[in-house]
């Protein structure tokens, strides 16, 4: 399910004509489902997938690394992306950000 969420979001981004690679320029602000529920469905899917694998394998190491993964995504990727998107899309992005939660 989490991998399906990430794949779904990736497909939505590609159909919207924007680049899902965070290192490349965004060409469109995607607001449709699943981006209507979370601004970061790919990252949510990644964290949920990691948590699911940790539970499935009953891995203490995988569980222990989960907060680190979430922190790296949050501080190393998401906050930077948000600054970029606000500069690129301005008021449209600020309105989207006000309506949709960052995680869930």
Query: CB count, 10 Å around CB of 20?
Result: 16
The whole-number pLDDT of residue 1 equals 77
Q: Average the pLDDT over 32-49 and give the result.
A: 95
The rounded Cα 72 to chain-centroid distance in angstroms is 12
DSSP 39: S
Is residue 28 within 8 A of residue 17, CB to CB? The reply is yes
Token duo for residue 41: 């469905």
pLDDT per position as a tens digit, 49-98: 999 999 999 999 999 999 999 999 999 999 999 999 999 999 999 999 99
**Per-residue pLDDT tens digits for 2-29:** 889 999 999 999 999 998 988 899 999 9
> Across the chain, how many H-helices and E-strands are there?
5, 0
What's this model's pTM, rounded to 2 decimal places? 0.90
Reduced to 3 states (helix: H, G, I; strand: E, B; else coil), residue 63 is helix
Q: Give the residue extent of every domain in the chain.
A: 2-99
C-alpha pair distances (Å), 55 with each of 46, 51, 60? 14, 6, 9
């Amino acid at each position: 399910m989490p991998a399906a969420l990430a794949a779904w979001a990736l497909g939505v981004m590609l159909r919207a004509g924007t680049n899902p690679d965070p290192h490349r320029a965004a060409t469109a602000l995607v607001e449709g489902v699943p981006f209507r529920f979370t601004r970061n469905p790919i990252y949510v899917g990644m964290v949920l997938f990691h948590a699911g694998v940790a539970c499935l394998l009953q891995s203490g190491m995988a569980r222990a690394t989960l907060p680190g993964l979430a922190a790296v995504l949050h501080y190393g990727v998401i906050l930077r992306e948000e600054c970029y998107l606000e500069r690129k899309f301005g008021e449209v992005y600020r309105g989207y950000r006000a309506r949709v939660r960052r995680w869930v």
